[in-house]
Amino acid sequence: MSALFVALLVFAFSSGLQAQRPGGVGIGVQLGDPSGLSLNLPTSGRASIDLLAAWDLDNFFFLNGHALFMQPLGSVPELGVFYGPGLFIGVRDRDTRRWDFEDEIYAGLSGTVGLNYFINQFEIYLRATLRLQLIDKTDGSAGGGLGLRYYF
């Protein structure tokens, strides 16, 4: 898993590709593992900032951020591939009556890759995300989802 993450980093920073997404901020939802609110922010560089805020009914909050690089896939400009390195943090509240210092905190590195399709100001995407947890314990996991964002 760490070899894939390093390969994503090398590929992301060695290519001169431009993002194909519409201008402006994209906001939407992602369904999957995890499900939550999705935000895509433009930057002055080649990458955009992709954030996912997720939670569940078991008192767990999760935030994942990636630098996303996008490029068209084949001859269809609306269809693209995206990839990028990132970080994540998760907090599980152990006491359901109040937040306290007994909470479990998870954090680490992540990498994402996926396909997206643009219809005017809308983006539909399917992604896979690999995570390498470094804080609390060392562990690996995978997730992903299907998402929809609107750019304004």
- pLDDT tens sequence across 27-40: 999 999 889 999 99
Contact between 33 and 143 under an 8 Å Cβ cutoff? The reply is: yes
Number of domains in the chain: 1
- CATH of residue 114's domain is 2.40.160
Q: Which of 10-14, 22-26, 125-129, 138-142 has the lowest mean pLDDT?
A: 10-14
- Is pLDDT larger for residue 23 or for residue 145? 145
pLDDT at 34: 86
Q: Is 90 exceeded by the pLDDT of residue 107? A: yes
Tokens of 86: 């990132």
Gap between the Cα atoms of 18 and 16, Å rounded:
7
The reply to whether 152 falls in a domain is no
User: What distance separates the 2 farthest-apart alpha carbons in the chain?
Assistant: 55
- Is pLDDT larger for residue 14 or for residue 59? 59
pLDDT at 95: 62
The reply to whether 111 falls in a domain is yes
Q: Is 60 exceeded by the pLDDT of residue 96? A: no
pLDDT at 101: 56
The reply to whether 37 falls in a domain is yes
The reply to whether 151 falls in a domain is no
Segments forming the whole domain that contains residue 98: 2-146
Gap between the Cα atoms of 96 and 59, Å rounded:
7
The reply to whether 59 falls in a domain is yes
Q: Which of 56-60, 87-91, 106-110 has the lowest mean pLDDT?
A: 56-60
Q: Which of 61-75, 92-106, 111-125 has the lowest mean pLDDT?
A: 92-106
pLDDT at 100: 56
pLDDT at 21: 62
The reply to whether 123 falls in a domain is yes
The reply to whether 138 falls in a domain is yes
Gap between the Cα atoms of 59 and 126, Å rounded:
26
The reply to whether 118 falls in a domain is yes
pLDDT at 20: 55
